[in-house]
Structure 1
């Protein structure tokens, strides 16, 4: 199942419900605001909003696609295209589209019993694997998201880590989950 969202730094990111019968649950962010920075919005959405909701509500999300009609245009150059060899654009009718930005999440939410959970491999999320292969994605550009959970007094804290090509790209401090 796919849940379509706008920019990930908005409140719409907090509103989701994984259907009980879903084999896979993926969020797709379409943010056509030219002033938006997709990687910064993805970090904000994943750490500030998605991780807190996933953990506090025990709602598993298998992955995230950040990809819209602005990606790879003059208004929003794709960093993947600048660093790649060979033709990575896929032609669809009159359009030429870059590979989707894919973020893989763990196959379980962190808990007291399992406080550290790591991203699942692309082969475990068939929908994301199809997007990755069909649109010429490179494995080195896949984003792997890990979560760590810790109780500190009355606060439940979480850490978010995003890895790409085996290298940590972004890591948060242990941050309290605040829900009203």
Structure 2
């Protein structure tokens, strides 16, 4: 039986964040380079006109190098802007970021509205874990689950994780939106 509910998620989040805290700068840089390589080699990512992505914070996997490489290829990159109600607005990334509340970085371009994610051909999302059915677990604010609810069917959604964060099962609640793929330093896998 799949674990469910806020308590199961809280306990798993605590363990996953503790494991991430043990990652050093060399491991993080290597993971970011490998994830970037896998994403830039994927045909669907390469063909995307618009990619909704995110700026990694702390020990989250990913890098600004990926964002810059996509822009250099002519891809429009949309990045989230956290709204006061914890929903996500979106703005185009043009190579510069400004510091926002909570230590987040966001683009300094015009805001396009929460519905702009629906224009993306590929959506990259942060997370803490995913299971074999594409059930993604984030940090618990619900911002990305609400954003993913606005992504049209058929759009590739990829959670970006470290190795060891792909689990057999992840606690699930009714509001959780599954993703279509996961990328880790070991590779990209579609569900």
TM-score tier, shorter chain, comes to under 0.3
Higher strand share: 1
TM-score of the superposition, structure 1-length normalised?
0.26
With CA pairs under 8 Å and 6+ residues apart, which has the higher RCO, 1 or 2? Answer: 2
